[in-house]
Structure 1
Amino acid sequence: MDAYSLNEILVALLIVAFAGAVHGTFGLGFPMVATPVLALLTDVQTAILLTLAPTMAVNLWTMLRGGNLAASVGRFWFVAVWMLVGSAVGTLVLVALDPNPFRLLLALVILLYLMGDRLKRVDWSWIPRYPRASGAGAGMLGGLLGGTVNVGGPALMIYFLEMRVPALVMVQAINLAFLLGKSTQAATFAAVGELTPVLLLVSLPLGVCALAGLRAGMWLSDRCSAEVYRHWLRRLLWLLAGLLVVQFLRDL
């Protein structure tokens, strides 16, 4: 998509502001919310391109918040490096193939996240036994999913939850991985000619709105019940997953 109507831009601004609020409340989740909603209006590749600047902005702010960043980076830097590799590969796959099937893949990733409680029944004890190998695998898988559907969070969340790291360390490490992954994705898109001046022009104000939403979410997280917010977020994600499947079937 090379041109955008005023209505499309206004809707996109509202979407990224809401996704930023979600990210500010929980420390992650921006692409999980923004990508499927924007993909309903355009396609997965365009949605990812539009959210490049906003995603990097919220990742950087969240990563720097809370202090003690050096300890988080020093322990889990290799996860971010593998996510960088996976993001480059995933982006090339996205550019080379028909974008419609990625709607279905995105819906499946969302369902994987929503059914996370069932995954707790799986034996993940090998992750802390082999932290380097499992971290490399989680980073690579997260990068591949991030490159193709912009949602690499579930793979990284499983890894860090099984590693039993403090919440601050998990949030900082995941946001570092996302930041490197998105930077690599932006460079890959630019190298293959997909990152056009129009997309850059539109994505910059989206980044400002995302940061405004992020700040509002941080304010909200200190004053509101996270459980109530999480309940309604899950309902929204179920709805979005269903709509993505419908769109995939419609465009077959």
Structure 2
Amino acid sequence: MTTFIGFYQDIGPALTLLVLLTFLLAGAVKGVIGLGLPTIAMGLLGLAMAPAQAAALLIVPSALTNLWQLANGGHLLALLRRLWPMLATIFLGTVLGSAWLGISSGAWAAHALGGALLVYALYGLYLPSVQLKPGREVWLGPLCGLLTGLVTAATGVFVIPAVPYLQSLGLSREEMIQALGLSFSVSTLALAIGLAAQGALGGQALGASLLVLAPALLGLLLGQRLRQRISAALFKRCFFIGLALLGAQLLLNG
């Protein structure tokens, strides 16, 4: 039990409450729009703790919610055949990037996290979706995977440029949700390996991550119910505006 609660004893009740509320909110966002759990978690927790600590906390809830997401839809084998080059380079880029850059390798990590969040928010708010031309997927997929891996290794954020790339493939809604779950699952696994190699994912960190699974799943269920009652477009716009503010704060102040 000490392993599970030791982290929270160290950070105190106020920061523990912030962690629990953050994962409740992050799970709710994911329930509404199908993504955002690690992005919200890294953005909010990055204001109060080192990015490596925040990244370690999201490993268990991110892994299980993404597995849940990719398990539904019936397109898994087809997506694996189509996306495996990108998935392979995501894994490779994250593991190698963790050894080269390392999310815990310096104070610059918080500024890098802020920059990644801001870029993703501006993309979501202002850049139109594009359709990838036939033939370009062969080389662009692995390139986007490698870049996503490097960004993940440096910031703990999985979305740039993987999400814009997946959105350019013309997938159906069900395929897109499953593809996101697949991409994020690979990123989470590779990030966990990278953090463990840096000594940032020991037994205490895993125990702390396991305990935030409950608020993340509760938020996910609430978000899925909320999705039926609100405008997904309006919610997504508010999400990106909030993300831009978070990113700007981290980028400027670290």
TM-score using structure 1 length: 0.88
- Structural mapping, 1:202-221, within 5 Å: 202-221=208-227
Q: Any residues of structure 2 matched to 1:183-194 within 5 Å, and which?
A: 183-194=189-200
Q: Alpha carbons of 1:90 and 1:39: their partners in 2 closer, same or farther (altered >3 Å)?
A: same
Q: In structure 1, what is the equivalent of residue 3 of structure 2?
A: none
Percent of pairs with identical residues: 27
Q: Supply the distance in 1 between the matched residues of 2:79 and 2:237 (Cα, whole angstroms).
A: 29
Partner secondary structure for residue 161 of structure 2: helix
Which residue of the other structure, out of 60, 64, 67, is the alignment partner of 1:60?
67
Unaligned runs of 5+ in 2: 1-5
Contact 1:38–1:47 (8 Å) recurs in 2: yes
Cross-structure match for 1:244: 250
What's the counterpart of residue 153 of structure 2? 147
2:245 alignment partner AA: L
- Counterpart residue number, 1:234: 240
| One-letter amino acid of the counterpart of residue 156, structure 1 | A
Displacement of 1:41 after TM fit? 0.9
What is the CA-CA distance between 1:118 and the residue it aligns to?
4.8
The aligned counterpart of 1:83 is: 90
Report Cα offsets for 1:62-103 as digits up to 9, x if no partner: 1112333222223212221111111112322225621x2122
- What is the aligned-residue RMSD (CA, Å)? 2.2
Which residue of structure 2 lines up, in the alignment, with residue 177 of structure 1? 183
Q: For 1:178-199, what per-residue CA distance to the aligned partner results, in whole angstroms no more than 9, with x for missing partners?
A: 2122112212322332212221
Establish whether residue 44 from structure 1 lines up as the match of residue 44 from structure 2.
Answer: no
Q: Distance in 2 between matches of 1:95 and 1:244?
A: 15
Q: Quick check: 1:94 aligned with 2:102?
A: yes
Q: Which moved more, 1:225-234 or 1:52-61?
A: 225-234
Q: Greater CA deviation, 59-68 or 88-97? A: 88-97
The Cα offsets for residues 117-148 of structure 1, whole Å up to 9 and x where unpaired, read as 55449xx7776432121000111111111122
2:31 and 2:222 in contact (8 A); partners too? yes
For structure 1, which runs of at least 5 residues remain unmatched after alignment? Answer: none
CA distance in 1, matches of 2:97, 2:180: 18
